Structure 1
């Protein structure tokens, strides 16, 4: 039925419905006013207390809201940090020096010392001279392998 009504007819129907509802409310108003006046002071004190407790509860909720927002933000940041891919350093491969005998090492040091080595290697040169002085003339190659 409403689909077949024009805009004017629909407006009139809505207005008539609103007028009926308003008339019912205005008719009931005196009875509601007498009922409210007949209520005891304790009732109104309880009403005031209930209203003030709701107001206080909302105030506490407003005070808690920034704390909750801060905690939520901190949790989101912490989770974000956990999921950010970590930049890993490339693995450094340590190549062990080739295994050489003590005699070969001393020969290499002697060559460096004789080639005009820096002053920091002078003690090594003295060591080489002592080794050469006390070393037997025929040397056998010893293996240090286990």
Structure 2
């Protein structure tokens, strides 16, 4: 396996999800990572309930802290869709309701997304385009 950069928080989250159904070697293959790295993350999570590395001292840590502060500021500036507590609870309820479905079950489902396009200020105004001479 090739050497890769440090695991992101998203990567660590994936590991926690995968560990429900896969062993560390399988997770490592799936993510293209070293199995020892995956085991360390899982062990740390089991011991501390967290996946973050323990704090270290020294100048390199100070640089990393500045980088992380910038990353945090950028995260705050990113626009995210608003999800109310009601909607969050509804999503959890939906997941609980359908969590027993298999991959075969979901292959029978068609998901669609509806959207509308508004032209001008009066969104309810009806417009019809026709070729010249057609009624």
TM-score range, shorter chain: under 0.3
Which is richer in helix?
Answer: 1
TM-score calculated relative to the size of structure 2: 0.23
Q: Give the number of the structure whose alpha-carbon radius of gyration is greater.
A: 1
